Chains A and B, each alone.
Chain A
Amino acid sequence: MKLQVQDLEKAYATRKGVVQAVCPTSFEVGDGEFVSLVGPSGCGKSTTLYMLSGLEEVTGGRILLDGKEVRGPGADRGMVFQNYTLFPWLTVLENVQFSLGLKANFRPGEQTTAEIMRLVGRSYFLLDLMGLHDFYDAYPRELSGGMKQRVAIARALVNQPKILLMDEPFGALDAQTREEMQEMLALLSQYEKTTIIFVTHDVEEAIFLSSRILVFSSRPGRIISDIAVPFGRDERTLNLKVEPEFMRMKREIMTLLHGSQNNKAEDRKTLLEKLVQKA
């Protein structure tokens, strides 16, 4: 598996003129990599991810998956969203098996029964791996936020997409659940060796999970740094977060991020001082 992004660009035509959301951006993602996109809010990291998924139209450049240009969404690129996207009328198991019943993935002529049975078995395996074996028949409204996201991840993985795209999947969860989910995802990616592109604004989360981090500048977004994370996949336990090397890296990336925002903070400070003096 190889993902090549060449001069990918997003621009919107508005009444005031053309707004550049993402500057022409190029990068490559190799097999089994876990790449995080971090950057200040509004920098276009989510837009980039949506363009990779095919849900957002590309206004310039191209995306190649295994050398073939991709247009529009497809089952080869699974996605997990920030909001809960489980189908409320299906049980947990039915949600995970939803994609198996779609024409694009279920081809009785071409697929052998054994192949289909393997995918069905995989749906159980993934749910068990996520600690959801007691919830096969539960409806989404009966689940907590963290459980919903775990089901969503299982659902995206069941068909073995070439790449998994995750858009701040833990953004809506509380701090403790978030850490549990991070640990679980680290374990899962070690097991499954899925190639993952992960969007987050949480630097700690990015370092903890990824093998590589792409740092975006503020709008219009472009990649200002491409950082390899030196920790091995088996080192990803919560203890890692307090290691000096981890903290050093976090500081480094935060400096990078704030560098592109420092001026704004200065402006705000002087404005505030002026206002205080007036009052």
Chain B
Amino acid sequence: MTTEINVAPPAAPAPPVTPPRKVRQSAHWFDLRKDIPAWGYKTLTVVSFLALFSLWAWLSHQDFVNKIFLPQPEKVWTTFVQLLDDDNMWTDIKVSFIRVTAGFLLSAVLALPIGLLLGSYKIAESVVQPLAEFIRYVPVPALIPMLMLLFGIGELAKIMLIFIGTFFQMVLMVADEVRRVPYELLQVSYTMGAKRGEIVSKVLLKAAMPGIFDVMRLCNGWAWTYLVVAELIAANEGMGYRILKFSRFLQTPKIFVYLILLGVIGLTIDILLRRINARLFQWADTTKR
């Protein structure tokens, strides 16, 4: 007995990319971790900003709200226009930006190698990690007297405060990124003849780099939050110092201008760093779900 097997004649293969046409695609607005349409994402972002703004505008025009505590948007706008001609504002932005960036860069330059060692060698972890965890919990403003004793009241003290505020978090987070590198990548390197030092520099560092860059982006945000604290130390310019001064004279419209400026600066740096990350590490799978 034989079995007949019918074989269909081969069909012409379909080309992988065909000219554009309408393809039905359903949107997944509420699916867990799934992308929503780009226009929807952008619209909702704009709406959330507008909502906050409207709430502010509405509240500030109510009788039960004291205008000294919540200035009206139009008042803030005119104040902003006035301040544009004020050299102080530009100096404040410049000085603060340099302080934050200097403190942040110092953190980054030291946290990268130390964090790499911490994440690679348990012996380094046992020495540094508990210590770093301990210092991490000390409130940074409480260190101001010590910092003034050690570094005086000049620029250095302010930069060091921002450094201390970010460094210990950063070291621990960098180490965590290094630990997240799959152990198999180490194993396969060993079987190719790699030595430990080579694995640290050629495998662990390279594999953890996109994550480390993201850590840096987050820590840069934190560095900005320490600005006001840093400028408590005998400052006579800078955005944090100026906000404190405005509040002493109840100049809330000016405070609002500075707060919004800080937000805008932070958001700009954040978007910029995200872009650089995506550009530098194209090999990484950025469609995290």
Contacts and interface: CB of A to CB of B under 8 A. Distances in A.
Contacts of B185: 85, 87
B191 A75 contact: yes
Interface in A98-115: 98-99, 101-105
Contacts of B285: 88, 141
Contacts of B203: 87
B206 A89 contact: yes
Contact of A78 (B191, B195, B284): B191
A54 interface: yes
A103 B198 contact: yes
A159 interface: yes
Contact of B187 (A55, A74, A89, A159): A55
Contacts of B206: 87, 89
A74 B207 CA distance: 22
Contacts of A139: 282-283
Contacts of B284: 88-89, 141
Contact of A102 (B184, B198, B207, B281): B198
Contacts of A77: 191
Interface string A165-180: 1000000000000000
Contact of B193 (A55, A81, A89, A104): A104
Most chain A CB atoms below 10 A, which of B194, B203, B282, B285: B194
B188 interface: yes
Pick from B185, B192, B282, B284 the residue with the most CB of A within 10 Å: B192
B209 interface: yes
Interface in A44-100: 53-55, 72-75, 77-79, 81, 83, 85, 87-90, 98-99
B190 interface: yes
A198 to B, nearest CB: 15
A73 B195 CA distance: 10
A155 interface: yes
Contact of B188 (A85, A90, A101): A85
A87 B207 contact: yes
Contacts of A103: 195, 198
Given A102-B193, A102-B198, A81 B188 contact: yes
Contact of A73 (B184, B190, B198, B283): B190
Contacts of B188: 79, 81, 85, 152
B192 A89 contact: no
A8 interface: no
B105 to A, nearest CB: 24
A89 B207 contact: yes
Nearest to A161: B191
A141 B284 CA distance: 8
A159 B193 CA distance: 10
A2 B109 CA distance: 50
Contacts of B187: 55, 73, 79, 81, 85
A156 interface: yes
A141 B281 CA distance: 12
Q: Which 7 A-B residue pairings sit nearest by Cβ, starting from the closest?
A: A75-B193, A104-B193, A73-B190, A99-B192, A79-B191, A85-B188, A139-B283
Interface of B: 182, 184-185, 187-188, 190-195, 198, 202-203, 206-207, 209, 281-285
17 contacts: A73-B190, A75-B191, A75-B192, A75-B193, A79-B187, A79-B191, A83-B184, A85-B184, A85-B185, A85-B188, A88-B285, A98-B192, A102-B194, A102-B198, A141-B283, A141-B285, A152-B188
Given A83-B184, A87-B207, A104-B194, 10 more contacts: A53-B191, A55-B187, A78-B191, A81-B187, A85-B182, A87-B185, A88-B285, A103-B198, A156-B191, A159-B192
